Amino acid sequence: MSEWVNGGLQDPAYMAQRIAACEREIQKGIIGQREIIRQVMLAMLTGGNVLLEGMPGLGKTRLVSTIGKVFDLSFKRIQFTPDLMPSDVTGTNIIIKNELGSAFSFERGPIFANLILADEINRATPKTQSALLEAMQEHTVTVGNDSHAIAEPFFVLATQNPIENEGTYPLPEAQLDRFMFKILVHFPGREELKGIVALTEGNQEPVIMKQIDSRGLLAARALVNQIPIADAVMDYLLDIVMDTHAGNPYIKEGASPRAAQALIRATRAKAFLEGRFNVSFQDVKEMAFPVLRHRIILSFDAISEGISEDDVIKELLH
């Protein structure tokens, strides 16, 4: 009998249960926002990065810190400002004096953590934003002639404010493409708000328990990557990506091949999280929105007619 049947890290059923338990534990610390939590979980399961777009004060920092506790991961928050330098993110070489003399030593920046919250990423200059590029894609940081690996799992959760455009630097398409999901964080409903207030203003903070460690998360990722996809489902998925290039009058630029990869991984993770070991058409339909919405560039017609990226994706899915 194979190893996974014994309930270890290789056991898909067991791991699916553990991941589901993680999700439930995160929901203890975050009121509402179930869809946001679900999508962040999916990104973590696939090793992707997330761009959260929403108003300040919606619990983004709390979400990331809770995830860190549940998965027992190191967490760093970087507040992006116009004067933030790349070395403030990546770290820099400094001179260290000791008994043997002085020498350069690399002082790690806040990027060296498992979970990074890049708050208001669009407030930093493009130079600083691009410092994140290598880390997000390669999970390494190069300073001078030396490359420094970032410990796995590595996960960047960036936020940006959709209404304040003055003094901001919109993320270039190349950088946007490196985010697996772009998640829109909406203002909570009245009941959710009531719960949030009760939770945060109460005397007792909820106790968040560790459910799985970084080893477990990496094992879950490996399992997710093995989930089979039927040919028909794969064809449907690829057709959607191809359709973003099929002369749609509302699309100026379609999704990149990275979008297809992200969609495949996202659908696998979603199936895994739901206790299935296969990808369904519904998985593809649901994941198309967070995966594609920041990867297609709308045409002037779409903007002038007030058509959003989600409207275009909805049309593609039909």
Which residues are at the interface with another protein (CB under 8 A)?
Answer: 2, 4, 10, 12-13, 223, 226-233, 276-282
| Shortest Å distance, C-beta 234 to another protein | 10
| Shortest Å distance, C-beta 242 to another protein | 20
Q: Report the residue number, 106 or 236, with the smaller CB distance to another protein.
A: 236
| Shortest Å distance, C-beta 41 to another protein | 19
| Shortest Å distance, C-beta 281 to another protein | 6
Q: Report the residue number, 176 or 234, with the smaller CB distance to another protein.
A: 234
Cβ 5 vs Cβ 211: under 8 Å: no
- Kindly tell me the number of DSSP H helices and DSSP E strands found in the chain: 13, 11
Q: How far apart are CA 282 and CA 270, in angstroms?
A: 10
Running DSSP on this structure, what letter comes out for residue 283?
H
Q: Report the residue number, 28 or 276, with the smaller CB distance to another protein.
A: 276
Quote the strand ranges of the chain, DSSP E.
50-54, 75-79, 91-98, 101-108, 115-119, 140-143, 146-149, 155-160, 181-185, 251-253, 297-298
Measured CA to CA in angstroms, residue 110 lies from 132, 180, 201, 205, 215 at distances of 11, 21, 30, 27, 22
Measured CA to CA in angstroms, residue 88 lies from 105, 107, 170, 172, 176 at distances of 15, 10, 20, 21, 21
Question: Residue 210's CB: how many other CB atoms inside 10 A?
Answer: 14
Q: Report the residue number, 182 or 265, with the smaller CB distance to another protein.
A: 265
| Shortest Å distance, C-beta 23 to another protein | 19
| Shortest Å distance, C-beta 110 to another protein | 36
| Shortest Å distance, C-beta 6 to another protein | 12
Cβ 159 vs Cβ 121: under 8 Å: yes
Q: Report the residue number, 65 or 280, with the smaller CB distance to another protein.
A: 280
Q: Report the residue number, 118 or 233, with the smaller CB distance to another protein.
A: 233
Q: How far apart are CA 191 and CA 34, in angstroms?
A: 14
Angle (CA) 264 13 4, round 5°: 105
Q: Report the residue number, 63 or 229, with the smaller CB distance to another protein.
A: 229
| Shortest Å distance, C-beta 227 to another protein | 6
Question: Residue 72's CB: how many other CB atoms inside 10 A?
Answer: 16
| Shortest Å distance, C-beta 207 to another protein | 34
Q: Report the residue number, 84 or 266, with the smaller CB distance to another protein.
A: 266
Measured CA to CA in angstroms, residue 259 lies from 75, 262, 279 at distances of 27, 5, 17
Q: Report the residue number, 16 or 296, with the smaller CB distance to another protein.
A: 16
Is the CA virtual torsion 198, 201, 204, 210 positive or negative?
positive
Q: How far apart are CA 268 and CA 3, in angstroms?
A: 22
